[in-house]
């Protein structure tokens, strides 16, 4: 009974936290800024230090593959947690399910907003996060086809 109430309370707290995060940075605002680019960091390669194009392509491919594996892993963890979160603590075959207190903390934004309002300090100051590194495959080079009245070039005719 108590575990069930604790589980419901945890779920309610997560829901409230998600709502607060949605209020602070709504998805529409994030999407509207998605096409912007951030400036390069200060420690980018100088022209003399630039790695070979093959090294860059390999690193980009490795990064994209690792990001795909991470997303797949996150999806798998979410699916498994749907079952595991509802289990009471105990031993299940070769696995022990238990809940331990977290050492992580997060600011209580509602309380901070209320304090700022009570003291007349205006809006809570916010700062932007660090830019994200986004790696996408470049589209293949487009070879224009000749118009019907133009002669075909040698590579296209072959």
- pLDDT tens track for 28-62: 445 555 567 888 888 999 999 999 999 999 999 99
CA distance to 3, 13, 70, 114, per residue, from 16 (Å):
20, 5, 27, 16
CA 97 to chain centre: 28
pLDDT on residue 5: 64
Given CA atoms 47, 48, 49, 54 in this order, what sign does their dihedral have?
positive
This prediction has a pTM of 0.53
- Work out the pLDDT band at 142, boundaries 50, 70, 90: low
Structure letter (DSSP) for residue 42: T
Q: Tell me the per-residue pLDDT of 112-121, one tens digit each, with 9 for 90 and over.
A: 999 999 999 9
Task: State the helix-helix crossing angle for 109-119 and 2-24, rounded to 10 degrees.
Answer: 60
Beta-bridged to residue 96, according to DSSP, are 91
**Who's near 141: CB < 8 A, 6+ residues apart?**
none
Q: Among 36-45, 137-146, 149-158, where is mean pLDDT lowest?
A: 149-158
CA distance to 61, 137, 143, 153, per residue, from 140 (Å):
15, 9, 9, 20
């Amino acid at each position: 009974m108590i575990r069930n109430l604790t589980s419901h309370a945890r779920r309610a707290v997560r829901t409230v936290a998600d709502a607060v995060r949605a209020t602070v940075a709504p998805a529409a605002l994030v999407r509207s800024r998605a096409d912007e680019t951030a400036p390069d960091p200060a420690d980018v390669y100088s022209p003399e230090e630039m790695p070979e194009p093959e090294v860059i392509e390999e690193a980009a491919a490795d990064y994209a593959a690792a990001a795909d594996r991470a997303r797949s892993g996150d999806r798998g963890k979410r699916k498994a947690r749907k079952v595991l979160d509802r289990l009471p603590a105990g031993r299940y075959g070769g696995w022990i399910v238990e809940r331990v207190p977290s050492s992580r903390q997060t600011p209580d934004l509602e309380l901070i907003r209320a304090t700022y309002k009570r003291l007349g300090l205006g809006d809570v100051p916010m700062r932007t996060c660090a830019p994200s590194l986004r790696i996408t495959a470049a589209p293949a080079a487009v070879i224009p086809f000749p118009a019907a009245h133009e002669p075909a070039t040698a590579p296209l005719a072959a």
